[in-house]
Structure 1
Amino acid sequence: MSTNFHRAAHTRPQTHRADDQRLIGVFDENRRGPLIIMIGGIHGNEKAGLKALEYLIKMLEVEHITNEAFQFTGRLIAIRGNIQAQKVNKRYINRDLNRMFRNDLLQTVLTKEERTAEEKELVEIIDFIKNSIADYHPDEIFVLDLHTTTAAGGIFTIINDSPEALEISLDLKAPVIEGFLRGIKGTILHYLNADNVHQNCTALCFEAGQHEDPLSVNRCIAAAVNFLSSVGAVEKLHIEPRHHRILHEYAAGHPIHSRLIYTHKIVEGDQFRMEPGFQNFDPIHENQLLANDINGPIYAPSTGLIVMPHYQEQGEDGFFIVEPLSDKVIG
């Protein structure tokens, strides 16, 4: 896909950018295939994914102008995450939405007459996704959740334990971290499985770089384009090499495949303060000073690579430590 994606001239695509705040857009050329759901802004201060999905829908709409051979298989739906938090450019209003996708919490929320901002968002997103599935009746569902981090440094993907998610992530040519979902709870990746949506569902998260870096938008676009190819919606011959190049340049030198070995949780009132200067995939050594809180210095419990050091006011995760599963790096 160039800005080019390309599309057959005789096929009229269905595109939809509705007034509904949740929906960014839909693209469907009436060729049956997977349902692809892409989400931006589950954290309201992470705007790169939202901008990228707006661009992606527009790119698809005009792709036929430069490439008549292009065909799109399946249906793409792009949606906004935490709309209320996006309006005030905060990670969340009352509670981290991407820690709330739990069935026990959802059942409690559904019984409440008055709901907090994130409780409303939780119910609306789940309803929207389930209605989209019921409307299309897909055989397969693929989900890409777009994020950015407070720290600069490398890009990476977070996957559930499905072999399909690992295969797709490796195809994106970005570092893959396994086991992340055991270090945190209640993400949308936890929720989107066959038990909850009654359909085969492969979901992964793409971390595109630092929140305010303009190039994070480019990396989100590149990941989304490559994702469409990886799940069979677009043939690889229609994907411009620059989309792989954008990801490769930012991931170069980082391990291809890692696993989570430690999570530092922040408790309210901790007064957690990360030591300055850490970036994603910076090497750290055991007993290295990483942060401070009300209880004193916080030292690395093991040697590894630091990921998502916490440099913002909101959030309950201080930092993560991962270890490479092999010597292979993005090269």
Structure 2
Amino acid sequence: MIRMKDQIGRSRTIGHFKGGNGGPTMIFFGGIHGNEPSGEQAIQEVFKGIAENGISVNGNIYGIRGNVAALLAGKRFLDGDLNRLWTDEKIEKIKAKAENELLNEDRELLSIHQVLSDILKTESGPFYFIDFHTTSSKTLPFITINDALINRKFSKLFPVPIILGIEEYLDGPLLSYINEQGYLALGFESGQHTERAAVDNSIAFMWLALVYSGALKRVDVEGFEGYYLQLQNSAQENANFFEIIYRHPIVSGDKFHMLPGFKSFDVVNKGKILAEHNHKAVLALQKSSIFMPLYQSQGEDGFFLIRKTPKLALWISVLLRKIRMPALLPILPGVSWADKKKGTLLVNERTARFMAKPLFHLLGYRNRLINKNEILMTSREATAKNKMYSGTWWYRNKKSV
């Protein structure tokens, strides 16, 4: 039996389908940034399609609004970026605030945090967390993930580019926080903010994800093949893995202007002028592809640079992780456990220079904090709840990386 809970207006919950026992629990977020309403709209349209067509649901499907107040205002955020607050330290500080001290995004975080806690306490896994976003520039649709094999394997089912390494450059995204708890989590960037195609791509992605997870049966989703082709065509048949190699940061008070005409995945040559930052030209440091150039007033990321990840490197990383090679890292000079349970390493800066960053990446480690003498490296593989997903068809697929 299926029942749907839908609340009127801009409440936290878009809707909830509860189906039979034994299925997955899927949680879709829309509007974590208030100027990105496409995900919220897509969730509403898919939920409507499930209800009107009487489609049988296995497990649970949740739709959750992100920054409700910012969505109403049509702004990325009101007081601060909600998608930069999700660290244990920041969450505890927000919880410790008096009621009259809470900023808008503090309240949004506490509300979402409570919803997530309730879902994890009352529902059964496997859990899938998917966060819908859009960009200020034109782009192919793409997936961003923290580099855990459960994220890789599930993401590879979709015919769009997959971006690794975002957690190394951003502090406090919602999905990184969820990944630290060991759950599968991915972000889907569906297109430019104002394009209808961004809504359509999110709808297609959501239907595919619901089928791939086992929440819906493929035969019950009319036009399933069409949704796949839609994403494949929108992505121009680009389903490669890419690695972020550079982020251009912006701080409050800076004057940043991205040169017009760039879109994500455009190839740029070394020395090409990309932007103007505090009246100085910003040049591409090497031949690469530009990624998420900023064409809006709010934001802390001017642009990123990415490069394609060779398939051989992906397969080597799988092998090294399966034979538990990362566990041997602390025997090296200058490397010690900062938190063995969380898979966090403390690496001497000299050792880090000797052991090239790509090697740590192969083993699943990413920089999270750098001080004068030491680098803190974290691994999503160490905390990933692989057993929760080990029975799924996509996890057992040996051809997947």
The normalised TM-score by structure 1 is 0.89
Rounded Cα–Cα distance in structure 1 between residues aligned with 2:191 and 2:156:
18
Per the alignment, residue 229 of structure 1 pairs with: 211
Amino acid at match of 1:229: V
List per-residue Cα deviations over 1:27-49 (Å, max 9, x = no partner): 12223221110000000000100
Residue ranges of structure 2 left out of the alignment (5+ in a row): 313-401
3-state secondary structure, aligned to 1:35: strand
- Aligned partners of 2:79 and 2:103 also within 8 Å: yes
Per the alignment, residue 254 of structure 2 pairs with: 270
Per the alignment, residue 67 of structure 1 pairs with: none
Residue 130 (structure 1) aligned with residue 112 (structure 2): no
Rounded Cα–Cα distance in structure 2 between residues aligned with 1:285 and 1:250:
25
Q: Find the partner of 2:28 among 21, 32, 38.
A: 38
3-state secondary structure, aligned to 1:121: helix
Amino acid at match of 1:261: I
Residue 301 (structure 1) aligned with residue 290 (structure 2): no
Rounded Cα–Cα distance in structure 2 between residues aligned with 1:193 and 1:255:
23
Residue 280 (structure 1) aligned with residue 267 (structure 2): no
Per the alignment, residue 72 of structure 1 pairs with: 57
Rounded Cα–Cα distance in structure 2 between residues aligned with 1:245 and 1:126:
35
Residue 202 (structure 1) aligned with residue 179 (structure 2): no
Change (3 A) 1:294 1:222: same
In percent, how many aligned pairs have the same letter?
31
- Aligned partners of 2:250 and 2:256 also within 8 Å: yes
Rounded Cα–Cα distance in structure 2 between residues aligned with 1:255 and 1:34:
26
Rounded Cα–Cα distance in structure 1 between residues aligned with 2:180 and 2:171:
18
List per-residue Cα deviations over 1:195-228 (Å, max 9, x = no partner): 4xxxx51000000000000111110000111111
Per the alignment, residue 218 of structure 1 pairs with: 200
Rounded Cα–Cα distance in structure 2 between residues aligned with 1:291 and 1:194:
34
List per-residue Cα deviations over 1:155-199 (Å, max 9, x = no partner): 10001122111111111211101111112110011111364xxxx
Per the alignment, residue 241 of structure 1 pairs with: 225
Correspondence list, 1:1-331, <5 A: 12-19=1-8, 21-64=11-54, 71-113=56-98, 114-136=101-123, 138-193=124-179, 195=181, 200-239=182-221, 240-254=224-238, 256-326=240-310
Instruction: Give the superposition deviation at 1:18.
Output: 2.4
Rounded Cα–Cα distance in structure 1 between residues aligned with 2:149 and 2:56:
27
3-state secondary structure, aligned to 2:203: helix
When the two chains are superposed, the root-mean-square deviation of aligned CA atoms in Å is 1.6
Rounded Cα–Cα distance in structure 2 between residues aligned with 1:204 and 1:307:
17
Paired residue total: 307
Change (3 A) 1:152 1:327: farther
3-state secondary structure, aligned to 2:191: strand
Rounded Cα–Cα distance in structure 1 between residues aligned with 2:239 and 2:231:
14
List per-residue Cα deviations over 1:254-289 (Å, max 9, x = no partner): 351111111111111220100000011101111110
Change (3 A) 1:255 1:282: farther
Amino acid at match of 1:61: A
Instruction: Give the superposition deviation at 1:236.
Output: 3.3
Rounded Cα–Cα distance in structure 1 between residues aligned with 2:253 and 2:126:
44
Instruction: Give the superposition deviation at 1:327.
Output: 8.3
3-state secondary structure, aligned to 2:75: coil
Amino acid at match of 1:184: L
Per the alignment, residue 4 of structure 1 pairs with: none
* Higher RCO (CA-CA < 8 Å; seq separation 6+): 1
- Aligned partners of 1:27 and 1:60 also within 8 Å: no
